[in-house]
Amino acid sequence: MVAPTLGQALEIEHREIDGGIEQFVAALDAGGTPPDPAPLTAALSGLRRHIYLEEEFLFPPLKTAGLMGPIFVMLREHGMLWRQMDTVESLLPSADTAAVRQACLELLSLLDDHNSKEEPIIYTQADGILGAEAGGELLDFLESGTTPDGWVAGAA
């Protein structure tokens, strides 16, 4: 099997992040005891790392290559996503499952809007602009990289 390109790997990560949030919401909808938050917390951690990778490693060379407008939009939306993740996390200890569910649905809506622009505009350009070596380094980061403690999205 052929290894995915950087753009493909980032899209796969989008689906995994969305899936963790959707799994948690489905468990909330099923009722009963409060669901295990592990899929949600893993998705939020993954999304924070994903945003870090993009802002620190992917976007700078793409801006230099002329994609300043689309990158500006992505950065602004990262700030919105970051703040919504903070909201979700602040509600997790709460017994108000309706509020947690609504916050998760709002995050999923923001992600859907963001990903629908990022994937066809940014990711299709990334593989060509970065080249195999830089793309390979970012693929390595996807496998084992972590977000530094205290790092926050630029627009958050």
Q: Convert the pLDDT of each residue in 56-105 to its tens digit.
A: 999 999 999 999 999 999 999 999 999 999 999 999 977 789 999 999 99
Give CA separation, 155 vs 6, 74, 90, 108, in Å. 24, 10, 19, 19
Percent of the chain with pLDDT over 90: 73
Percent of the chain with pLDDT over 70: 97
Who wins on pLDDT, 35 or 67? 67
Q: Which residues contact 133 (CB under 8 A, 6 or more apart)?
A: none
DSSP character string of 103-134: HHHHHHHHHHHHHHHIIIIIIHHHHHHHHHHH
Q: What is the pLDDT of residues 8-28, one digit of tens each?
A: 999 999 999 999 999 999 999
> Taking 80 as the threshold, does the pLDDT of residue 132 lie above it?
no
CA distance 118 to 91: 28
Q: How many residues does the chain have?
A: 156
> Taking 80 as the threshold, does the pLDDT of residue 33 lie above it?
no
Closest CA to 51 of 103, 118, 101: 118
Domain 6-144 is in which class?
Answer: mainly alpha
Q: Which tokens go with 61?
A: 């060379």
pLDDT of residue 35: 85
CA distance 66 to 123: 14
Averaged over 125-138, what is the pLDDT? 80
> Taking 90 as the threshold, does the pLDDT of residue 155 lie above it?
yes
pLDDT of residue 63: 95
φ/ψ of 65, rounded to 5, equals: -80, 0
